[in-house]
Chains A and B, each alone.
Chain A
Amino acid sequence: MRRRRKLEFLAFLLPVGGAILILPPLVLIANANTSIFGFPAIVAYLFAVWLALIIATYLLQHKLGSLQDIDTEPETQPAPPDSGTLK
Chain B
Amino acid sequence: MISGSLVIATAVVYVILLFALAYWSDLMARRGQDKLLRSPLVFTLAISVYCTSWTFYGAVGSAARNGLEFLAIYLGPTLVFTGWWFGLRKLVRIGHNQRITSVADLISSRFGKSGRLAVLVTLMAVVGITPYIALQLKAIATSLRVILGSGFDGDELAQAGPLPQSLDDIGLAFAIAAAMALFSILFGTRNVNANEQHHGVVAAIAFEAIVKLIALIAVGLFVVFSIGGGFEATYARAGDAGIVLNATDAFGPRWLTITILSAAAIICLPRQFQITVVENADERHLRTASWAFPLYLLGISIFTLPIAIIGQSVLPAGSDPDMFVLTLPLAYDQQGLALFAFIGGFSSATSMIIIASIALSIMISNHIVVPIALRSTKVPDHESGSGMTRLVLTSRRISIAVVLLLGFIYFWLTAGSGALAPIGLISFAGVAQFLPAIIAALYWRDATARGALAGLLVGFAIWGWSSFLPSFATSSEQIAALLQAGPWGIGFLRPQALLGLDGLDPLVHSVFWSLLGNTIALIGVSLLSENNAMGRLQAHLFVDVFKQSTGGHARYLDSSATLNDLLYMTQRVLGAEPAKALFAKLAPHNKELEATPPTPEFISKLEKELAGSIGAASAHVVLGQVISGESITFEEVLQMADETQKILEYSQRLEHTTEELQSTTSKLRAANQQLRELDQQKDEFLSQVSHEVRTPMTAIRSFAEILLKHDDLESGQRQRFLNTIHDESMRLTSLLDEILDLSALERGETLWHNEPVEIGAALRRAIDVCTPLTNQHNLEVRPKNLTEDVWVVANTDRICQVFINLISNAAKYNDAAQPFVEIDTRTEGEELLVDFSDNGPGIARGDREIIFDKFSRGKRDPESSHSGSGLGLAISLEILIKMGGSLKLLSTGGRGARFQVRLPLAASRVRAPLERA
Residues of A within 8 A of B (CB): 8, 11-12, 14-16, 18-19, 22-24, 27-28, 31-33, 35, 37-40, 42-43, 46-47, 50-51, 53-58, 61, 64-65, 68-69, 71-72, 74-82
State A43–B232 Cα separation when bound (angstroms): 12
Is B252 an interface position by the 8 A CB rule?
yes
Assuming the A-B contacts A11-B85, A38-B235, A68-B284, are A61 and B291 also in contact, with contact meaning beta carbons closer than 8 angstroms in the complex?
A: yes
Is B612 an interface position by the 8 A CB rule?
no
Minimum Cβ distance to chain A for residue B518 (Å)? 21
Residues of A within 8 A of B291 (CB): 54-55, 57-58, 61
> Which of A15, A28, A55, A68 has the most chain B CB within a 10 Å cutoff?
A15
State A65–B294 Cα separation when bound (angstroms): 18
Residues of B within 8 A of A (CB): 68, 71, 75, 78-86, 89, 230-232, 235, 238, 245-246, 248, 250-252, 255-256, 259, 283-284, 287-288, 290-291, 294-295, 298, 302, 305, 546-551, 643, 646-647, 650
State A72–B287 Cα separation when bound (angstroms): 13
Name the contact of A51 in the complex, choosing from B283, B298, B546, B647 (C-beta under 8 A): B298
Minimum Cβ distance to chain A for residue B36 (Å)? 20
Assuming the A-B contacts A38-B231, A79-B548, are A65 and B305 also in contact, with contact meaning beta carbons closer than 8 angstroms in the complex?
A: no
B287 close to A18 (CB less than 8 A): no
State A15–B68 Cα separation when bound (angstroms): 21
Residues of A within 8 A of B650 (CB): 81
State A80–B549 Cα separation when bound (angstroms): 10
- Give 9 A-B contacts (CB < 8 Å), ordered by A residue: A15-B83, A18-B78, A22-B79, A27-B251, A42-B246, A54-B298, A55-B291, A61-B291, A68-B287
Assuming the A-B contacts A31-B251, A50-B298, A68-B283, are A38 and B232 also in contact, with contact meaning beta carbons closer than 8 angstroms in the complex?
A: yes
Residues of A within 8 A of B256 (CB): 23-24
A24 close to B85 (CB less than 8 A): no
Assuming the A-B contacts A40-B238, A54-B294, A57-B294, are A78 and B549 also in contact, with contact meaning beta carbons closer than 8 angstroms in the complex?
A: yes
Name the contact of A53 in the complex, choosing from B78, B283, B284, B643 (C-beta under 8 A): B78
Closest to A81 in B: B646
A56 close to B82 (CB less than 8 A): yes
Assuming the A-B contacts A31-B251, A76-B549, are A39 and B83 also in contact, with contact meaning beta carbons closer than 8 angstroms in the complex?
A: no
A39 close to B231 (CB less than 8 A): yes
> Which of B81, B256, B290 has the most chain A CB within a 10 Å cutoff?
B290
Assuming the A-B contacts A81-B646, A81-B647, are A64 and B71 also in contact, with contact meaning beta carbons closer than 8 angstroms in the complex?
A: no
Closest to B85 in A: A11
Residues of A within 8 A of B231 (CB): 38-39
Minimum Cβ distance to chain B for residue A77 (Å)? 7
A43 close to B298 (CB less than 8 A): no
Residues of A within 8 A of B75 (CB): 18, 22, 46, 50
Assuming the A-B contacts A46-B68, A78-B548, A79-B547, are A31 and B255 also in contact, with contact meaning beta carbons closer than 8 angstroms in the complex?
A: no
State A40–B231 Cα separation when bound (angstroms): 10
Residues of A within 8 A of B305 (CB): 43
Closest 7 pairs (CB-CB, A-B): A38-B232, A15-B83, A58-B291, A11-B85, A75-B549, A57-B291, A81-B646
State A25–B230 Cα separation when bound (angstroms): 31
State A75–B546 Cα separation when bound (angstroms): 11
Minimum Cβ distance to chain B for residue A31 (Å)? 6
Assuming the A-B contacts A40-B246, A81-B646, are A64 and B251 also in contact, with contact meaning beta carbons closer than 8 angstroms in the complex?
A: no
B78 close to A50 (CB less than 8 A): yes
> Which of B248, B252, B288, B291 has the most chain A CB within a 10 Å cutoff?
B291
Closest to A37 in B: B232
Main secondary structure, interface of B, reads helix
State A75–B549 Cα separation when bound (angstroms): 5
State A72–B548 Cα separation when bound (angstroms): 11
Residues of B within 8 A of A19 (CB): 79, 259
Name the contact of B550 in the complex, choosing from A23, A57, A75 (C-beta under 8 A): A75
Minimum Cβ distance to chain B for residue A67 (Å)? 9
Name the contact of A57 in the complex, choosing from B86, B248, B259, B290 (C-beta under 8 A): B290
Residues of B within 8 A of A54 (CB): 78, 82, 291, 294-295, 298
Residues of B within 8 A of A71 (CB): 546
Closest to A22 in B: B75
Minimum Cβ distance to chain B for residue A20 (Å)? 10
Minimum Cβ distance to chain B for residue A11 (Å)? 4
A12 close to B83 (CB less than 8 A): yes
Residues of B within 8 A of A76 (CB): 549
Assuming the A-B contacts A23-B256, A64-B85, A72-B283, are A46 and B71 also in contact, with contact meaning beta carbons closer than 8 angstroms in the complex?
A: yes
With A12-B85, A23-B251, A56-B82 already in contact, 11 other A-B pairs whose C-beta atoms are closer than 8 Å: A18-B75, A19-B259, A39-B235, A50-B294, A53-B82, A54-B82, A54-B291, A54-B294, A57-B291, A61-B288, A74-B549
A42 close to B86 (CB less than 8 A): no
Assuming the A-B contacts A22-B259, A68-B89, are A11 and B643 also in contact, with contact meaning beta carbons closer than 8 angstroms in the complex?
A: no
Residues of A within 8 A of B643 (CB): 81
A57 close to B549 (CB less than 8 A): no
B235 close to A57 (CB less than 8 A): no
Name the contact of B68 in the complex, choosing from A35, A37, A43, A57 (C-beta under 8 A): A43
State A87–B80 Cα separation when bound (angstroms): 29
Residues of B within 8 A of A80 (CB): 646
Minimum Cβ distance to chain B for residue A22 (Å)? 5
State A79–B544 Cα separation when bound (angstroms): 11
State A15–B252 Cα separation when bound (angstroms): 20
B294 close to A53 (CB less than 8 A): yes
B238 close to A61 (CB less than 8 A): no
Assuming the A-B contacts A35-B235, A58-B291, are A15 and B80 also in contact, with contact meaning beta carbons closer than 8 angstroms in the complex?
A: yes
Closest to A23 in B: B256
Closest to A28 in B: B251
A43 close to B294 (CB less than 8 A): no
B549 close to A12 (CB less than 8 A): no
Minimum Cβ distance to chain A for residue B352 (Å)? 23
State A19–B551 Cα separation when bound (angstroms): 37
Assuming the A-B contacts A24-B255, A39-B235, A78-B549, are A14 and B82 also in contact, with contact meaning beta carbons closer than 8 angstroms in the complex?
A: yes
B284 close to A69 (CB less than 8 A): yes
> Which of B71, B81, B82, B259 has the most chain A CB within a 10 Å cutoff?
B82
Minimum Cβ distance to chain B for residue A19 (Å)? 6
Minimum Cβ distance to chain B for residue A13 (Å)? 9
Closest to B645 in A: A81
State A69–B647 Cα separation when bound (angstroms): 28
Residues of A within 8 A of B647 (CB): 81
Minimum Cβ distance to chain B for residue A75 (Å)? 4
State A50–B305 Cα separation when bound (angstroms): 16
Residues of B within 8 A of A46 (CB): 68, 71, 75
Minimum Cβ distance to chain A for residue B605 (Å)? 14
State A72–B97 Cα separation when bound (angstroms): 12
State A34–B549 Cα separation when bound (angstroms): 56
B290 close to A61 (CB less than 8 A): yes
Closest to A15 in B: B83
Minimum Cβ distance to chain B for residue A51 (Å)? 7
A11 close to B284 (CB less than 8 A): no
Name the contact of B255 in the complex, choosing from A23, A43, A65 (C-beta under 8 A): A23
B251 close to A24 (CB less than 8 A): yes
